[in-house]
Structure 1
Amino acid sequence: MAHYQVGILAGIPAHAEYLFFQLQQETAAQEIKSALEKIKHLVDGDMLVLGLGHDLCQQLHLHVPALKHFSIEATTGTSETQSALNKNADLWCWLRSDERGELVECQRQLESLLEPYFTLHDQVSAFRYQGGRDLTGYEDGTENPVGEDALATAFVNDPNSPLHGSSFVAVQQWQHQMQHFHALARAQQDNIIGRRKSDNEELEDAPESAHVKRTAQESFAPEAFVLRRSMPWAQQSKAGLLFTAFATSFDAFEAQYRRMLGNEDGIVDAIFSISQPINTHYFWCPALQNGELAFG
């Protein structure tokens, strides 16, 4: 039996719901634990992957040293610093299934069991597109680690640690400027990403601002590998990508994001010309013990 939430390693489902809950003020630790106990039977770590935010862990007196708030300032021109949704949520539920109706029912049960201590702060519906592509048409997660490398990247591996089998996830919602992007010539699009859309080959002569060059995981010291499980989203006329990156800490994600912002060399990632992050959340995804969530 796996000691980690297996949905983190599983392939991208056809449908998903990203649910962000906020804890009501003046809720006692025992009331929080009672609410979380009620949903344990739903949290199988597969169809429902769960993460806890920094403040919630503190209220539960859980010692998770690497867990913190996202605090990297966005560059001028991005909307992230102005987003009302950027307050780090307390509880994250990633509902995953190839049947949309299953997600509707699971969400209904979750909200009912978490009341009155948790309220749904934000919800984003996501989906698989063309076998794993972003809505721009480019493949997502091309350099994802696989097999044993994926396990080592995503999960704490220390049997002597209470965090053994757990993971840390950064969830960052990007909103694409779809009309602007599709108005660009194919060569311009490829240079923004750093790959050819037609065959996914990396462009050796791409500009230094190309997204692939900015985020090449092996180019950092230490190497900044994350396990990406990102999914496209759409709501009315808005659309984009829910960047979802699992690792043993937030160090790799932050190293990549700071370079994208140009903090290292002043070169800003070209991706900002066609997309903007509108919120970012950090969560700790507890391990499983005997098939049940183990959060203390």
Structure 2
Amino acid sequence: MTTVDPSQAQDVWKDVGKNVEFVSLALTRADQATAQAAVQEFADRSQAIIRSMRIREPEADLRVSIGFSNSAWDYLFPNAAKPKELETFAGVSGPEYSMPSTPGDLFLHIRANDQAVIYEVVAQYQQFLGEFTTVLDEVKGFRYLEGRAIIGYIDGTEAPQVEDAAPYALVGDEDPEFINGSYLFTQKWIHDMDKWNGLSVEHQDRAVGRQKFSDLELPDEEKAENAHNLASNTGDDNKIIRMNVPFSNPAEKITGTYFMGYARHWETTKEMLQQMVDMSDFLLTFSELKTGTLYFIPSRPLLDEIAGGELN
């Protein structure tokens, strides 16, 4: 019987980082054999780059996750087994709002204390990715004041602590070929900050379900019926590792949240998303969702197998 081993996983824990970069890439699909060979080289070189940067800048606390979507898996590894729950996100709809599905093949989630380290990692990665991919989206996030979400509330209070995260984040014996991997769902939200900031703090508290200053949870009877912490809560046994990262071009008045959800079971995340639209989560009333894509984050040993050409 195999056992989950967090040391064999990529960096899927709740350590948002001071600086963050998200890169979504599409395969050009010009030549399958060339793309397969290039991904094998990247799987190898990417881990060497991480090790090198951790030696060069040990205080940067570099963390990296690399993911593959369902479409990418089918193209790059057509003869290999596939994670049981890996699929193409089809979007979800509710009575008032919907969450879109958007394309993506490869995904990079990179965070560090030093933005220069992130720059160097992405620049080096692109030396190997640039010839067979195109960039769909690139977002630079940051740690907001006191680690709060961009709307001013403490983020992730209900997420499992790092020491408790493995059972919620990592695939286990239910899919032994992919043990220590994780399902990552990504979403890019753009907020109407003028609309949000025009609400009283009391109104905002009811909308989120917590007190803004103290972070204390409100009694259920004081929350709005579609309060965010009600709409996004699917029970203590169905938690995921959430990382909500602020990003902004403030002069252009473009401000948003990049939502990351790592999970042992994609079905858990999907249930949460459906509940959010079914309840018309208050956050949706002043937000526009731009993306929605599911990726699988292989374990580090599985990345080694990809590097060795064992998954083709």
TM-score (norm 1): 0.88
- Structure 2 stretches of 5 or more lacking a match? 1-5, 52-61
The residue number in structure 1 matching 2:7 is 2
The residue number in structure 2 matching 1:54 is 70
Percent identity, please: 21
Give the whole-Å Cα distance in 1 for the aligned partners of 2:117 and 2:285: 37
| 1:115 Cα deviation from its structure 2 partner | 2.9
Residue 85 of structure 2 contacts residue 267 of structure 2 at CA under 8 Å; is this kept in 1?
A: no
Are residues 1:66 and 2:85 paired?
yes
Are residues 1:214 and 2:231 paired?
yes
The residue number in structure 2 matching 1:41 is 45
Give the whole-Å Cα distance in 2 for the aligned partners of 1:273 and 1:121: 26
- Structure 1 stretches of 5 or more lacking a match? none
Which structure 2 residues correspond to residues 137-176 of structure 1 after superposition, within 5 A?
137-158=152-173, 161-176=176-191
1:272 to 275, 284, 294: 284
| 1:293 Cα deviation from its structure 2 partner | 4.2
| 1:73 Cα deviation from its structure 2 partner | 3.3
1:232 to 246, 249, 256: 246
2:202 to 182, 187, 201: 187
Counterpart of 1:17, as a letter, is E
Q: Deviations over 1:129-162 (max 9, x none)?
A: 1232111110111101124531010001229711
Q: Deviations over 1:187-233 (max 9, x none)?
A: 111111011101111111212211111122317xxx42101122111
Give the whole-Å Cα distance in 2 for the aligned partners of 1:131 and 1:294: 40
Give the whole-Å Cα distance in 2 for the aligned partners of 1:103 and 1:288: 20
The residue number in structure 1 matching 2:35 is 32
| 1:163 Cα deviation from its structure 2 partner | 0.2
Residue 9 of structure 2 contacts residue 299 of structure 2 at CA under 8 Å; is this kept in 1?
A: yes
Give the whole-Å Cα distance in 2 for the aligned partners of 1:195 and 1:212: 8
User: 1:227 and 1:34, CA in 2 relative to 1: closer, same or farther beyond 3 A?
Assistant: same
User: 1:76 and 1:234, CA in 2 relative to 1: closer, same or farther beyond 3 A?
Assistant: farther
Give the whole-Å Cα distance in 1 for the aligned partners of 2:233 and 2:83: 28
User: 1:148 and 1:246, CA in 2 relative to 1: closer, same or farther beyond 3 A?
Assistant: same
User: 1:145 and 1:100, CA in 2 relative to 1: closer, same or farther beyond 3 A?
Assistant: same
2:267 to 251, 256, 264: 251
Q: Secondary structure at the match of 2:146?
A: coil
| 1:50 Cα deviation from its structure 2 partner | 0.2
TM-score (norm 2): 0.83
Counterpart of 2:37, as a letter, is S
Counterpart of 2:233, as a letter, is A
